[in-house]
Amino acid sequence: MLLRVFVNFRQSPIGFLGRNLYLNSRAISTGRVPQRSANDKTTPGRCFSSSGSHLRANETFDDFRAREERKEQEYAKQQQQQADATSSTGSPTSHTEAFASSSSGEKEPIDPDVERTKEMILDAALAFVQSHGWSKQAIAAGAEAANYPSVSHGLFPRGGIELVHHFYKQCNLKLIDYLKQQTVGVEKVPNPSEFARKAIEFRLRLLEPYLKYWPQALGLMTLPPNAPHSLANMLTLVDDICYYAGDRSVDFNWYTRRIGLACIYKTTELYMLQDSSAGFENTWKFLERRMEEASLVHEFLVKSEGATHQLQNAVGSAFTTARNILGLNFDRR
């Protein structure tokens, strides 16, 4: 019984492998490769090395090692030659360095030509919001209108929200131009509250051509990935109104005025979406009432001494972050 098991093991693939490993070990220890007879059925050339080569017939271990060392030296020489050639052209010296240079996380410099092209496409896309909404389809149509291929919407990977932010930015710039015109040659605004009310009305009237589709824009702006930029646009809007209204305060009033104005603007904006009166007359009356109530909100915040410092820190950080997100500074000269 034991003899039969031994014979079966010798004839199995495992038996051949074991015998082959045994022959290889003897070749390494003695420095010689044993000669195989004609009846030897072991697999030839199965003497493995770390470099993927194998011992040749009638080759000692010392010869094998010398041959492998020569290969390593030739490979090192080739690598050095490639390094010298690539360093002279200024390109990366290896695939690893090339990958590291491309994935280092550094932002590529902004190309002014590309930015101007994007501005042109987005400006043209606003004409298609009424037919396609705030979407990639509107951007593609705008690209064609600006004599660019429709696939140019690939320049805007975030889709419709980039069109919304572009429109919001353009409206804020128009608001600043309006505020500058109203304060030309004026050292001090006689009625800051009325000045702020007119500024809010001017800003909201810019939404009239797109009012039907503005709820979609509001939905896009409230999405988590888009909220920081959208909040920055809003805070910058009210900050500009307060500044040109003559607010140069450095105390807590700086914060309360901006918080109150932001609340008034957003509530009036939402009211305007549902207003069907002629010329949005009810919306402007609603705005007047909110401005009258603003003084009450201001007094409440100022008298709440416990919340004063917390609000001051929180709101101050919010306005600073908003300016940083939009890449703006506080120099309005």
Residue 247's pLDDT band, with cuts at 50, 70 and 90, is confident
> Across the chain, which distance is largest between two alpha carbons, in Å?
116
pLDDT in tens, 259-298: 888 989 999 999 999 999 999 999 999 999 988 887 655 5
Per-residue pLDDT for 318 more than 60? no
Instruction: Check whether 108 has a pLDDT greater than 70.
Output: no
Confidence of residue 101 (pLDDT cuts 50, 70, 90): very low
- What distance in Å separates the CA atoms of residue 61 and residue 274, rounded to the nearest whole number? 91
Please give the structure tokens belonging to residue 266. 């957003």
Q: How many CA atoms lie within 13 A of 172 on its CB side?
A: 19
Neighbours of 7 (CB within 10 A): 11
Give per-residue pLDDT as tens, 42-69: 444 444 444 445 555 566 666 767 777 7
Distance between CA 39 and CA 96 in Å, rounded? 50
Mean pLDDT of 237-260: 82
Give residue 321's pLDDT.
54
The whole-number pLDDT of residue 62 equals 67
| Count of beta carbons in the 10 Å neighbourhood of residue 160 | 22
Report pLDDT for 41: 44
Average pLDDT of the chain is 74
Alpha-carbon gap, residue 207 to 198, rounded angstroms: 15
How far CA 256 is from CA of 11, 296, 300, in Å, comes to: 93, 11, 10
Q: Which residue has the tokens 């000045």?
A: 195
Query: Tokens for 44?
Result: 């030839």
Interval 14-30 mean pLDDT: 46
Nearest to 129 by CA among 90, 187, 92, 170: 170
Q: What pLDDT is recorded for position 266?
A: 93
Q: What is the pLDDT of residues 140-198, one digit of tens each?
A: 999 999 998 888 878 899 999 999 999 999 999 999 999 999 999 888 888 888 999 99
